[in-house]
Amino acid sequence: MTTTEMTQEVRHQAALEKYLEESPQLKEEIKDLSADDQRDQIQWAFEDEAESQGYQPWELTLKYTSTPEEFEAARLALHKEAAEVLGVEWDEYCEMNDLVV
């Protein structure tokens, strides 16, 4: 399944699974928690990881579920869409969001 064929929910779940596989310490820390608590902890850790990399969680989801080339193209396309929805000029939007294009 390519990036464009994945729904946002499926893409995010795939990203969380990949993130957990790359985070053995987190996996160990949450192993005795209920399934619901595990999901919450994984989500919170994922959001923290996104922030530490300077991304929004949706950007990290995209990064985990696409090639580097797909990631950059899709990331910019989604940011451009956001700028249009917000009615903000692209240059101003980039500055407000620390985007380097």
Give the mean model confidence (pLDDT) for residues 81-97: 93
Q: How far apart are CA 67 and CA 71, in angstroms?
A: 6
Compute the mean pLDDT over every residue in the chain, rounded to the nearest whole number: 91
Q: How far apart are CA 70 and CA 2, in angstroms?
A: 10
- The CA radius of gyration of the chain, in Å to the nearest whole number, is 15
Q: How far apart are CA 56 and CA 87, in angstroms?
A: 20
Domain boundaries, the chain: 7-64, 66-100
Question: Tell me: the pLDDT tens digits for 40-63?
Answer: 999 999 999 999 999 999 999 999
Q: How far apart are CA 8 and CA 14, in angstroms?
A: 10
